[in-house]
A and B are shown apart, each in its own frame.
Chain A
Amino acid sequence: MEVVRAGAALSSPAWGILCAGLDGMRERLTYEELVAPVRERMMRIIWRIVRNPDEAEDTMQEVLTLVWKKLDRISRHPYPQALVLRICVNSAVDALRKQRRERRFVDSQILDRLPASDSDGWEQRETEAMIREAIGRLSRNQAAAVLMRILEGQSYGEIARALGCREVTARTHVLRGRAKLGRWLSHLRSSATEEVFP
């Protein structure tokens, strides 16, 4: 059950003024209206990006704090659940960037001590790390757009609503993000997908 504000699809100025006036009178959404319908998706998307139990817990905490802080704004948003999912993706990408910074230091210490027999596992982890690093290098909107498109399989319209932009802009974010990833990960594409992830 997705909450969609009545009249959100209409774009006439008069309707906009009317909605703006009515928005001030609207009450906050309840947990059952806002969070319950996207509860599973929130958990899955955070885990998929972060892939670490502690980081996932911290990210979920941050997401819930943000949702509570911005509840009035979210309640007035035409697609409040899409906005909540965007908060999840953004927070997870932020966590990913943080992981990227920490890993640079940790990996340099751990890799020296890894045994030679563990080289396959090391390569897999190294590939994952490169992909994560590449995602972390993207801008916030591009990372969110690419992950929502590729991992969540969302349409450009859904991405646009979540990002609060036009559909064309959402499409541009996805294309540019994908182009950058393609460049940065060109050396992994054909070989790595077959060899590293058979």
Chain B
Amino acid sequence: MRSDKPIRQDLERLLRTAFPDDLPADAEEMMGRQLDRFRQRWVEKEREDALESIRSRRWTAALIRISLAAVSVLFIILGLRLRASSPQADLGSSLASLQQAAYFSGRIMDFQSMECAVRLDRPEEPSQQFFIQWISPEETRVRLIRAGEETVRTVHPPKPERSVLELIVKSGPDETVATSRLEAELRPVEGLLSSAQLRKLLDGRWRLAGTERRDGCDWKSFSVSRVSDASPSRITVDTCTSLPIRLEKDVGSGEKIEALFRWVPRSEPRGLLFHRPVSRGAAETTPS
């Protein structure tokens, strides 16, 4: 290694002497001019690029502004259309109807005692009348008047918790009828035989059909649509008691029933309907 050092120094001296650092002024000036020209072109290119970038950015900004304006206008139009169509009113009334339906349904369940006069109109046949009385949740009495003949039936509406066996055991031999084997003549009034069945009948989409003022209370009419029924029921509710007072329903084949309800407080004596004939109108069917 020691012997290499002088050789290396010799070589370095040789190279430094062969490539001296003696840049002449004319060569420096010439290369300096080259570099200046290069710098000038570089700066021009940078300026062009900057202008191009600004132009591009302007276009982008303009495009964004136009898009935002278009979106704003679209939203304004949508807002105006929504306002014009007043969806809040529809939604509100729908919710109110739903709320009322739930409330009326709850009221029906509270009142276990009800008397009801029903008229069944059939095409080309005399009308039939049914007088229905809920004796208890498990017992309903039906008086049927048809062509001047009167028949009384006792029906035991099924409760969800009761078994079929229990229904058969408890049903009477003659006049007692379980709804599981309900006679054909009682079929039209099947939905009125108990509070559970009435609630089931009224379980649908309630839509307000009209309001009329009676004795200081509003009578509200609702159209109740059910998926299973082709024609909607029409129910009228007394807003003072929140209970149904009239029901009209097409039961098919041109048959139509109209029922007038009388909700009996627990303290009031029952059975009034069974002693008076029924005719059209609630005032006549309900005892004064």
A and B: real partners?
yes
Using a CB–CB distance below 8 Å, which chain A residues touch chain B? 30-31, 35-36, 39, 42-44, 46-49, 51, 53, 56-57, 60-61, 64, 68, 127-128, 131-132, 135, 146-147, 150-151, 178, 181-182, 185, 188-190, 192-193, 197
Does B72 lie at the interface of the complex (its beta carbon under 8 Å from any beta carbon of A)?
Answer: no
Among the interface residues A36, A60, A185, which one has the most CB atoms of the partner chain B within 10 A? A60
Does B17 lie at the interface of the complex (its beta carbon under 8 Å from any beta carbon of A)?
Answer: yes
Distance in angstroms between the alpha carbons of A131 and B13 in the assembled complex: 12
Distance in angstroms between the alpha carbons of A181 and B15 in the assembled complex: 10
Distance to closest chain A CB from B64 (angstroms): 22
Distance in angstroms between the alpha carbons of A68 and B41 in the assembled complex: 10
Distance to closest chain A CB from B60 (angstroms): 18
B-side contacts of A53, CB under 8 Å: 24, 26-27, 30
A-side contacts of B23, CB under 8 Å: 43-44, 47-48
Distance to closest chain A CB from B226 (angstroms): 64
Residues of chain B from 10 to 34 with CB closer than 8 A to chain A in the complex:
10-21, 23-24, 26-28, 30-32, 34
CB-based nearest B residue for A34: B42
Distance in angstroms between the alpha carbons of A189 and B11 in the assembled complex: 6
A-side contacts of B43, CB under 8 Å: 31
A-side contacts of B27, CB under 8 Å: 43, 47, 53, 56
The one of B10, B15, B24 in contact with A131, judged by C-beta atoms closer than 8 angstroms, is B15
Distance in angstroms between the alpha carbons of A30 and B16 in the assembled complex: 34
Distance in angstroms between the alpha carbons of A197 and B34 in the assembled complex: 33
A30-B46, A48-B21, A150-B16 known; A178-B28 Cβ under 8 A: no
A-side contacts of B20, CB under 8 Å: 48
A-side contacts of B14, CB under 8 Å: 131, 185, 188-189, 192-193, 197
The one of A30, A44, A61, A190 in contact with B10, judged by C-beta atoms closer than 8 angstroms, is A190
A53-B26, A56-B30, A57-B30 known; A35-B16 Cβ under 8 A: no
A31-B39, A35-B38, A61-B34 known; A43-B18 Cβ under 8 A: no
The one of B11, B12, B31 in contact with A43, judged by C-beta atoms closer than 8 angstroms, is B31
10 other A-B residue contacts (CB within 8 Å) besides A57-B30, A64-B35, A193-B10: A30-B42, A43-B31, A44-B23, A47-B24, A47-B28, A47-B31, A53-B24, A60-B35, A68-B38, A182-B7
Distance in angstroms between the alpha carbons of A115 and B212 in the assembled complex: 138
Closest 9 CB pairs of A and B: A131-B18, A189-B10, A197-B17, A31-B42, A48-B19, A43-B31, A47-B23, A64-B38, A31-B39
CB-based nearest A residue for B23: A47
